[in-house]
């Protein structure tokens, strides 16, 4: 793989990150950032947030999209 191939991979990865970032921005505007199953621990000035519900939702959506795209 030459430099041209690596350049195409890097550009493709940047486009994917751009799309995923846009999706996260839209989900935040629609209030999907706090789903049932998300864990939040607060102790003094420290807050720890585990978005388990959001990770499960994104995993399901990603699996469906990839199955549709990669189906032959």
> Alpha carbon of 1 to those of 5, 41, 55: distances in Å?
6, 47, 34
Confidence (pLDDT) at 15: 93
Confidence (pLDDT) at 11: 94
pLDDT in tens, 9-66: 999 999 989 998 898 888 788 877 677 888 889 999 999 988 888 788 889 988 998 8
Confidence (pLDDT) at 65: 86
CA 49 – CA 56 distance, rounded (Å): 15
Radius of gyration over every alpha carbon of the chain, rounded to an integer in angstroms: 17
Confidence (pLDDT) at 60: 93
């Amino acid at each position: 793989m030459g430099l041209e191939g690596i350049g195409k991979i890097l550009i493709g990865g940047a486009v994917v990150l751009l799309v995923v970032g846009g999706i996260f921005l839209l989900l935040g505007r629609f209030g999907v950032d706090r789903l049932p199953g998300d864990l939040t621990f607060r102790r003094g000035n420290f807050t720890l947030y585990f978005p388990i519900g959001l990770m499960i939702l994104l995993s399901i959506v990603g699996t469906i999209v990839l199955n549709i795209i990669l189906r032959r």
